[in-house]
Amino acid sequence: MEVNTCFTRVLLTIVLFNKVYTLNILGVFPFEGKSHSFVFNPFMLELAKRGHNVTVISHFPQKKPVQNYRDISLAGKSKILVDVFSLYRSYWSIIEISLFLVNSGTANCKLVMADENVQNLWKTQTKFDLVVTEQFNSDCYLGLAHKLKAPVIGITSHKIMPWHMSRFGIVYNPSHTAFTFLEGGTKPTLYQRIERVIFHNYFNILYKYFCQRIDEETLAQYFDDVPPLEELGRDIKLLLVYQNFAMMGSHIFPSNVIEIGGLHVVKPKPLPKDLKKFIEESEHGIVYISFGSMLKAVTMPTDKLQAIIDALSLLPQRVVWKWEDQTLPGNPKNIYISKWIPQNDVLAHPNVMAFYSHCGLLSTTEAINYGVPMVAMPIFGDQPVNAAAVEESGLGYQIQINELSKEKLLAKFKAVLDPTFRENVKRLSKVWHDRPISAMDTAIFWTEFVARNKNITLSAAAANVPYYQYWCLDILSVFVIFILTITFLIKYLLSFFKRNKRHAMNRKSKKE
Ligand SMILES: *[C@@H]1O[C@H](CO)[C@@H](O)[C@H](O)[C@H]1NC(C)=O
Ligand SMILES: *[C@@H]1O[C@H](CO)[C@@H](O)[C@H](O)[C@H]1NC(C)=O
């Protein structure tokens, strides 16, 4: 009897705990870069699949209706970023990217706020349990969430941005914190440390004055009581960050920053017939090349392109190359080119010996997922930091586009094609997969956790400390004042005694 009651209670607890209570979740992902949607899309779909009522604002609506899932589509309202960036790197290209981020972030804020279906959300006072939004180039949607009175979960499809670290209380120290837009990883040279201090401040100032301020003005046209966006940023309940220590290294994160790297990788599908034939008939396997969806490979300088083709011609491997043009110079027979390649399915094939990549985080993630060694050639955005992580983790070697030559590239290929190197990459891939729960389950768990435990504060105290206290400037001032006072006192006393002594001596000599 007793055992029975106990059993019922346990059963009841399990049922109650696992009760699928439907959450109303709003996803706001208005960045027009397709690769970002490759992370958010499967996540929102999974939430819907698990019974939650999901609404998503984005440029990438579902092609077919999905149960529990409603799109507020921005499709057609701005240009999708495919094949837009040129293949070159310099300080100027970093400045260009920063200006692009500002323009795209503030423009999307205006676009979203002017959208009738979005306006209906607050006009009809739709109730949401959670707002999930990207932490990238706009805080506009924190204002929207504030108006809807919903707690916010942030999510990224990249390493955390330099301007978002302080709001979560994440330590930024140029001596060892890899910097998103620059080389050097976790072991920067003195020059690289100076570089990242300058760019860290540049990006933070730019974000504050040219993203947040403009978004605040946009929001003020619709709402009259929105707190400063940085303040709302500090109220974000949780951040799901697209990285994993197996590749990016071990970080100091507060309890509300959760690693979900790997979430987007799906089971491979069968390859198209001709591609499968090309890969499987290769005696020594293949090298796969892609510079991602945003870069236009045909903008590559001809001497660099020739260097790549010449290096590849000296390898026994065949090559599969995502290339936007009809032909390559010289029409090399060993190279299969196509505008579109099912990358996940290709990388999953055991004949793929190496991956020559721009090191977008999703490509890099797929490479470690399948244990494919990389030659990493970063171009823009977060690619330098990913490429540094590739080298530090042992997933591959970097080559910088500015130093690209036939000999150098060939040496990198030889290094990653080495059987011992490959074995180590396979081992690394095992570490990547060795987790208590999958990246998707992790993301879903913590999302539901926030809804279940609305009153719990997970954010770090460091997020809410004023700068002068965080850097101990007040303590330093107290010490400085104290030391100055003591020095002054000692000086005064010394001169006082000296004077006394002189007087005494004077008196003595007078007496004599
Ligand atoms: C699902 O969300 C929509 C908002 O997009 C809302 O109108 C609808 O009432 C919600 N459905 C349920 C069952 O809560
Ligand atoms: C959260 O805290 C508030 C005020 O302290 C309280 O009124 C409310 O019931 C709490 N909610 C939950 C879900 O614990």
- Average pLDDT for runs of 10 along the chain of length 512: 52 50 95 93 98 97 97 89 71 92 96 97 96 98 97 96 96 94 96 97 97 98 95 97 94 95 96 96 96 78 92 96 87 91 97 97 97 96 96 97 96 98 98 97 97 90 92 96 96 92 84 72
pLDDT at residue 9, rounded to an integer: 56
What atom in ligand 1 is closest to the CA of residue 68?
1
Read off the tokens for 158.
């990249």
Burial class (CB in 10 A: 0-12, 13-18, 19+), 159: buried
Read off the tokens for 93.
């290209």
Answer whether 120 contacts ligand 1 (Cβ < 6 A). no
Helix 190-206 with 91-114: angle, nearest 10 deg: 20
User: CA angle, 398 as apex, 244 and 400 as ends, to 5°?
Assistant: 125
pLDDT at residue 15, rounded to an integer: 47
Amino acid identity at 414: K
pLDDT at residue 376, rounded to an integer: 98
Burial class (CB in 10 A: 0-12, 13-18, 19+), 70: middle
The rounded Å distance from CA 451 to ligand 2 centre is 13
Beta bridge partners of 374: 355, 396
Calpha distance 355→370 (Å, rounded): 11
- Per DSSP, the three-state class of 321 is strand
DSSP code of 276? H
Model pTM score: 0.90
Calpha distance 155→195 (Å, rounded): 28
Read off the tokens for 103.
């323009």
Q: What is the DSSP code string of 187-201?
A: S--HHHHHHHHHHHH
Give the residue, by CA position, lying nearest to ligand 2 atom 4. Answer: 455
The rounded Å distance from CA 151 to ligand 2 centre is 14
C-beta separation of 351 from 376 below 8 A: no
Beta bridge partners of 357: 290, 376
pLDDT at residue 60, rounded to an integer: 96
- Which of 453, 455, 456, 457, when mutated, tests ligand 2's pocket best, judged by the most ligand atoms within 8 Å of its CB? 455
Calpha distance 97→469 (Å, rounded): 33
Ligand nearest to the CA of 456: 2
pLDDT at residue 120, rounded to an integer: 97
C-beta separation of 322 from 83 below 8 A: no
Per-residue burial over 15-25, b if 16 or more Cβ lie within 10 Å, else e, is eeeeeeeebbb
What atom in ligand 2 is closest to the CA of residue 453?
13
